Structure 1
Amino acid sequence: MSERYAITPDDVARAAGTIRGHVLRTPLVPAPRLSELTGARVLVKHENMQATGAFKERGAVNRLSALDPDERRRGVVAMSAGNHAQAVAYHARRMGIPATIVMPATTPLVKVENTRAHGATVVLEGETLVEAAARARALVESRGLVLVHPYDDPAVMAGQGTIAREMLEDAPDLDCLVVPIGGGGLMAGIAVAASHRPDVALYGVEAALYPSFLNAIDGGARPIGGPTLAEGIAVKAVGQLTLPIIRDRVAEIVLVDEPQIERAVHDYATLQRSLAEGAGAAGLAALLARPELFARRTVGLVLCGGNIDARLLASVMVRELEREDRIVSFRMTASDRPGVLGRVAGRLGELGANILEVSHGRLHLDVPAKSVSIDVTIETRGPHHTGEILARLSDEGLNPRRIGPHGTAVTGS
Structure 2
Amino acid sequence: MELNLEKIKKARENIKAVVRETPLFYTSTFSRKCGCNLYLKCENKQKTGAFKLRGAYNKLVNLSEEEKKRGVIASSAGNHAQGVAYAATAFGVKSTIVMPATAPQAKVKATQGYGAKVIQAGQVYDECYARAVEVQKETGATFVHPYNDVEVMAGQGTIGLEILDKLPEADVVIVPIGGGGLISGVATAVKSIKPSIRVVGVQPEIIASTKVSMEQGKVVTLPGAKSLADGTSVSAPGDKCFEYIQKYVDEVVSVSEEEIALGMFSLMERNKLIVEGAGALPLAALLAGKIKGIKGRNVVGLVSGGNVDIANVAKIIERELVLINRRIRFTVEVQEKTGTLCNLVSKIEKLGGQVVTITKNNNWSEKGLDFSDVSFEINVESEEHGRKIISELENNSYSLECGLLECSRNH
Judge same fold: TM > 0.5, yes or no: yes
Q: Give the 3 Å change call, closer, same or farther, for CA 344–12 of structure 1 in structure 2.
A: same
Provide the C-alpha distance between the structure 2 equivalents of 1:125 and 1:349, rounded to a whole number of angstroms. 49
The aligned counterpart of 1:247 is: 246
**Letter aligned with residue 298 of structure 1:** N
Between 147-156 and 291-300, report the one with greater CA deviation.
291-300
Q: Does 1:88 align with 2:88?
A: no
1:161 Cα deviation from its structure 2 partner = 0.8
Residue ranges of structure 1 left out of the alignment (5+ in a row): none
| 8 Å CA contact 1:269, 1:275 repeated in 2 | yes
Q: Deviations over 1:380-402 (max 9, x none)?
A: 22122111111222334434333
The aligned counterpart of 2:195 is: 198
Q: Does 1:156 align with 2:152?
A: yes
| 8 Å CA contact 1:209, 1:223 repeated in 2 | no
Between 136-145 and 312-321, report the one with greater CA deviation.
312-321
Q: Does 1:306 align with 2:302?
A: no
Query: SS state of the match for residue 186, structure 1?
Result: helix
Query: SS state of the match for residue 52, structure 1?
Result: helix
Query: SS state of the match for residue 247, structure 1?
Result: helix
Provide the C-alpha distance between the structure 2 equivalents of 1:368 and 1:183, rounded to a whole number of angstroms. 62
Provide the C-alpha distance between the structure 2 equivalents of 1:260 and 1:373, rounded to a whole number of angstroms. 36
Q: Does 1:99 align with 2:101?
A: no
Query: SS state of the match for residue 313, structure 2?
Result: helix
**Letter aligned with residue 211 of structure 1:** A
Provide the C-alpha distance between the structure 1 equivalents of 2:276 and 2:308, rounded to a whole number of angstroms. 5
Q: Deviations over 1:177-208 (max 9, x none)?
A: 00000111001111111222221101101112
Q: Does 1:79 align with 2:75?
A: yes
Between 348-357 and 20-29, report the one with greater CA deviation.
348-357
Provide the C-alpha distance between the structure 2 equivalents of 1:379 and 1:244, rounded to a whole number of angstroms. 49
Provide the C-alpha distance between the structure 2 equivalents of 1:177 and 1:192, rounded to a whole number of angstroms. 12
Between 154-163 and 337-346, report the one with greater CA deviation.
337-346
| 8 Å CA contact 2:72, 2:144 repeated in 1 | yes
The aligned counterpart of 1:209 is: 206
Provide the C-alpha distance between the structure 1 equivalents of 2:307 and 2:188, rounded to a whole number of angstroms. 27
Between 187-196 and 75-84, report the one with greater CA deviation.
187-196
Query: SS state of the match for residue 235, structure 1?
Result: coil
Provide the C-alpha distance between the structure 1 equivalents of 2:350 and 2:40, rounded to a whole number of angstroms. 43
1:278 Cα deviation from its structure 2 partner = 1.2
| 8 Å CA contact 1:207, 1:258 repeated in 2 | yes
| 8 Å CA contact 2:358, 2:374 repeated in 1 | yes
Q: Deviations over 1:63-119 (max 9, x none)?
A: 111110110111110011200001100110001111111122333433222211111
Provide the C-alpha distance between the structure 2 equivalents of 1:347 and 1:42, rounded to a whole number of angstroms. 42
Query: SS state of the match for residue 294, structure 1?
Result: coil
**Aligned counterparts, 1:201-240, within 5 A:** 201-219=198-216, 226-240=225-239
Q: Give the 3 Å change call, closer, same or farther, for CA 245–222 of structure 1 in structure 2.
A: closer
| 8 Å CA contact 1:174, 1:300 repeated in 2 | yes
Q: Give the 3 Å change call, closer, same or farther, for CA 7–139 of structure 1 in structure 2.
A: same
Residue ranges of structure 2 left out of the alignment (5+ in a row): none
Q: Give the 3 Å change call, closer, same or farther, for CA 308–105 of structure 1 in structure 2.
A: closer
Q: Does 1:376 align with 2:373?
A: no
1:249 Cα deviation from its structure 2 partner = 2.4
Q: Give the 3 Å change call, closer, same or farther, for CA 128–206 of structure 1 in structure 2.
A: closer
**Letter aligned with residue 179 of structure 2:** G
2:109 to 110, 113, 124: 113
TM-score, normalised with respect to structure 2: 0.90
| 8 Å CA contact 1:42, 1:300 repeated in 2 | yes
Provide the C-alpha distance between the structure 1 equivalents of 2:150 and 2:333, rounded to a whole number of angstroms. 65
- The Cα RMSD (Å) is 2.6
Amino-acid identity (%): 34
Matched residue pairs, number? Answer: 403
1:56 Cα deviation from its structure 2 partner = 0.2
Provide the C-alpha distance between the structure 2 equivalents of 1:340 and 1:399, rounded to a whole number of angstroms. 14
Between 254-263 and 302-311, report the one with greater CA deviation.
254-263
| 8 Å CA contact 2:124, 2:224 repeated in 1 | no
